[in-house]
Amino acid sequence: MKYIAAPMVNQSDLPFRRLVENHGAMMSYTQMLIPERLLNDQEYLEFHLRDLTLWGSERNKPVVVQLCGNDPDMVVKGARQVQGYCDAIGTISIDLNLGCPQETAKDGHYGAYLLGQKDWPIVEGMVSSMSSSLAVPISAKLRLCQPLPKTYELSKRLEACGSSWVTLHARTVSARRRRQGAADLDVVKELKRHLNVPTISNGNVKEHADLKRNLLHTGADGLMVGETLLGNPCVFEEDDPDTTAVSLEYLSLCNKYPGTATLRTVQAHVRHFVEFQYQRRPWYHKFRTAITNATSVEEIEHLTRYKLAKWLGREPVKHDVDEADPHGFPSEDEKECRSVGDGQVEVEVMNGNISNCLDISPARKQPFASIDSQ
Ligand SMILES: Cc1cc2nc3c(=O)[nH]c(=O)nc-3n(C[C@H](O)[C@H](O)[C@H](O)COP(=O)(O)O)c2cc1C
């Protein structure tokens, strides 16, 4: 089984990717990155390089850095900004976003707004340029084309241009109703028949049982999950998570990887975890207000350990008991090293020698080993 965490803007932060990897994801995507900003916005570049540096500092599962755009040169230049990290780590690949439905993508003419046949030369130009200029595998993630058979035709072209696998989010683009309606998994099944490179199925996973159903139906080589992971980061495992435990696990990962998730991102994640199981509880609105008003990760952690536990009718979840701190509150020193700062991170990047998830033909660059061999 090859389970993959989807790219999600502002939600695919390193602590979250690590969390889902701890609970069964075998590969994860970064959020969509904008090449122009990787080149012209130092703060943006540093933020995302910090993520990749910390990610690469440990033995880990593969990560796919997703880029968007409509200009082959720009996309290649943006990819080169992160490729240094890819070279060092050896388990990164780069994905091209051909599925973003947002108005900004419409205005900027990228994402799903390149799926019309008239724009295929642009798409082919980007994938070919990336494939010939970069030393890492390239992939593409798209939505359904109109009419549907065009999806197979475009995907075959992407394969011919050097895409090492294709992910299909099997819905058509709709800016207003982004993920509503069922994904058309028959198209994924058919796409699998058309491609020689691996096909990744995306859409319709609401609960654990859907994983097997989806893979059985589509015959896909891998299965990507997005929105459901936000509420249930353990969906790849059989059992629903303990909300407090999973929230604290995520928060401890935020502390472990400082400066890789903004406060808003952390608030959103913990809110989603709690919402998933307790949205209808009378105290949920109090929780929501408290988390929205929290001004630091420590405050969110305190809320989770004490108030959330109380609302759930449980004992507070104290820190590992510290003689000097019988209440379990973090010491000032602890607080300092936990703060989600923007400081420059200096981490030695170790060579990753992790097998990747997908079987890619040996003819392709840096062929991945099968996940089964891990
Ligand atoms: C909050 C959020 C942000 C997303 N951001 C991206 C993105 O940056 N790039 C992308 O290709 N898709 C993005 N998506 C789409 C997901 O990757 C995925 O294709 C979609 O949610 C369908 O899968 P699902 O039904 O499992 O959620 C996003 C989805 C969500 C919920």
Is the pLDDT assigned to residue 13 strictly greater than 60?
yes
Predicted confidence at residue 61, as pLDDT, reads 85
Specify the pLDDT at position 99: 96
The pLDDT value recorded for residue 180 is 62
200-221 tens-digit pLDDT: 999 999 999 999 999 999 999 9
Residues in the chain, total: 374
Instruction: Write the pLDDT tens digit of every residue in 132-152.
Output: 999 889 999 999 999 999 999
Nearest atom in ligand 1 to 204's CA: 25
- How close are the terminal C-alpha atoms of the chain, in Å? 12
**pLDDT band (50, 70, 90) for residue 319:** confident
**pLDDT digits over 42-79, tens only?**
999 999 999 998 888 776 788 999 999 999 999 999 99
Which tokens hold the place of 106?
């419409």
Catalytic residue at 254?
no
Q: Could you give the CA distance from residue 112 to residue 258 in angstroms, rounded to a whole number? A: 33
pTM of the predicted model as reported, rounded to 2 decimal places: 0.86
Listing DSSP states for 222-270 in one string gives EEEE-HHHHH-TTTTSSSPPPHHHHHHHHHHHHHHSTTSS-HHHHHHHH
Residue percentage of the chain with pLDDT more than 70: 81
Map out the domains of the chain with their CATH numbers: 3-231 (3.20.20.70), 263-338 (no CATH)
Ligand 1 pocket by Cβ (under 6 Å): 6-9, 11, 31-32, 66, 97, 99-100, 141, 169, 179, 202-203, 205, 225-228
Residue 320 is predicted with a pLDDT of 65
Mention every residue, 6+ apart, whose C-beta is less than 8 A from residue 104: none
